[in-house]
Every structure is written in C-alpha cells, then in structure tokens.
Chains A and B, each alone.
Chain A
C-alpha cells in the first residue's frame, strides 16, 4: 500500500491533472491518514470540479473525519453532477440513516441498488435500514394470529388505542389514541399540548446548542411518557404505566416510530 501511495504521488507530481488522485485519496483514507486524504481530495475537487467521483471521495474522507455536514454537501454536489452516482446515493443513505430519516435513506439506497444491482454493500445497507423502518415480524405475526390487523397506524401494537398517539405539527391526531385513568378518550387534548411541547423542545435544543432533539422522556407518579419525532413535524407519544421500565418504553417508541413512518409514507401515495 505504501509503495502504491509513493507511485501514485509520483504520478500526481508528473501529471497534476491525472485522475490518479481518486485512488491516492482513497488509499490515504483507508490508511487513516485523513489530513493528507483531505488535501488530495480537495485539490482533486478544485482541478476536476465537474467530476462526481472527486466529490464522492471528498465526502467519504469528511465522513471518516466526522464532518457529516461537509460530507452531505459534497454528496449533494456529486448528485447534481451525476444523478445516479452510486457512491453518492450510498453516502446520502448512510447520512440520512444516521439522522433517523429512514424513508429518505431508503430512497437513496434503492436508487443506488437500481443503478448497480451487484453492489453487495448497498444490499446490506438496505437490509439494515429496512429492518429499522419496519415493525418486527413477531409483532406482525402476533397481530395476524389474533386477527387484529386493522387499517390503523399502530395495528398490532399493545395499547395502540390507549397509549400510542401520532400527532401532526398543528396538534391534530393522526393515529392511535390516549385514554386517561378513567378510560376517557383524551387524545385531542393531549395532541394539542404535545405539539406545543415538542415545538418548545425544538426551540430549547436549538438555542442551547444541543443539536437536533431526539426524544423527551417524562416520568410522573402514574406513568411514563415518551415523545419522539418519527419525522420532522410529526410527533409520537407513548404512554405507559410505571411498571414498564423507561428503557422498554424507549424501545417500543422506536418500533412505533418505524410503523408511523411506514404509515405516513403509504398515506402520501
């Protein structure tokens, strides 16, 4: 590898316009020499600004360096130059998966796979993202066995009508339900308060420079609440009694969020 790098560096010195910078930058990235990889990739992008592979290389180096925003910009540029660039779609899929934007991640990965059906890494990535985006097989099987599959966003989830609520940004109920201790339907009231609280969470996280908010957990005398955003501007509430540990509530919220995303996507079609 080191000999290869020397040879490629010599080639670059002989011909600064050579595309060998793509292999050189990648080799340096793989070796973990990120400073040198960034220099090579940036120089390559300057000389070959209309070459999608150059921006793809720079994006991968940025990811290794933990600079995800810059990587996002480079992959966007690569896709502007080459709409079906496999590396850029894979990269965008990875970045969006990290942000829990699973539907958008799936879009990119499916485009990558359609462009190159032989790319095993895309197949593996798709498998991972699809698994995260769907309710577990066990839930679906259990729901089918008990004949409980309904045209409902949380069909098959325990407590779907009294402790799982999907709300839009204007505080309107989209699906699920919440009942209070007396069994009264309080979904509309909770939805209205929830949207206000979620907007306040967004504001607090932004102004205190905490980044994007992911969840709010509330512990109260008679139960737990867990609030999350299955996608931007849509809020999911899970309500459970105190006997359910908060960690389990968080896991349930992840599965319900995946179901909500699937349902929202289907509703938009």
Chain B
C-alpha cells in the first residue's frame, strides 16, 4: 500500500462511526489497501461490496442516469458506503447505523481525490 493511499484511507476512518475503509478492485473484489478496525471482515467486505457495486452499476446505467458516483446501503445495524476509486477500484466504508453519511460521503470523495 502506498503511503498516499494509506493516508487517504486513514483520513476517512476518522469520521465518527466508520469502522473501516478499504480500496477494492472492482474486477475481482480483492482488497487493494485497507484501514479497518479489528473484527471487520475485510475480504468478505471487499468481495460483497464489489459485487453489489457491479450489479447496481448495471441497474443505474440501464435506467439512464449513468454510472454510480456514490452508493449507500442502509441496514438495521449499519451502513455500507462506496464511491469509485482511481482506475478500476472502489473505495468502500462500513459503519454503524448512526454514522453521518453526508460527512462520510464528503471524506470519501476527498480521499479519492487525494489518491489521484
């Protein structure tokens, strides 16, 4: 993991309520880099997030609104958030149900910018 990507991921995880951030390859759902709290299942999170993003991209593109720029899966006990990363990657975050999604979104978009 380059220090630039690591710093960007660390910045995202400072958002209160987020339990981790990771950069995932969209093609195969593998972890490129991560900054996760202990107990977060990184490999599963990467694979599931990539698969969900790919399927939502199909629905999004076919409905005529273009490729997703931000995804928010809201569940009873938490959220899964994703934005497109550099090249064919996805920046994915997982957090509690009370996380400030607006703030997390901003930090994720900033992080992707920093990753270049």
Q: Identify the A interface with B (CB < 8 A).
A: 178-182, 186, 189-190, 193-194, 196-197, 200-201, 203-205, 207-225, 227, 237, 239, 241
Contact = CB atoms under 8 A, between A and B. Distances in A.
A239 B65 contact: yes
21 contacts: A181-B64, A186-B63, A193-B62, A205-B73, A205-B75, A207-B48, A208-B41, A208-B48, A211-B75, A212-B75, A215-B73, A216-B56, A216-B71, A217-B74, A218-B60, A218-B70, A219-B68, A220-B66, A220-B68, A222-B65, A225-B65
Contacts of A182: 64
A178 B63 contact: yes
B77 A209 contact: yes
Contacts of B52: 197, 200-201, 204
A179 B74 CA distance: 26
Chain B contact-residue range equals 20 to 34
B27 to A, nearest CB: 16
B96 to A, nearest CB: 9
Q: Which 6 A-B pairs have the closest CB atoms?
A: A180-B64, A211-B76, A223-B65, A210-B75, A211-B77, A193-B59
Given A194-B59, A200-B51, A210 B68 contact: no
B34 to A, nearest CB: 14
Consensus secondary structure, chain B interface: mixed
Interface of B: 41, 44-45, 48-49, 51-52, 55-56, 58-60, 62-80, 94
Contact of A221 (B49, B66, B72): B66
A219 B65 CA distance: 9
A196 B55 contact: yes
Contacts of A211: 75-78
A216 B71 CA distance: 7
B93 to A, nearest CB: 12
Contacts of B60: 218, 220, 225
Contact of A225 (B49, B63, B77): B63
A218 B64 CA distance: 13
B63 A180 contact: yes
Nearest to A200: B52
A214 B73 CA distance: 8
Given A196-B55, A203-B48, A190 B65 contact: no
Contacts of A220: 60, 65-69
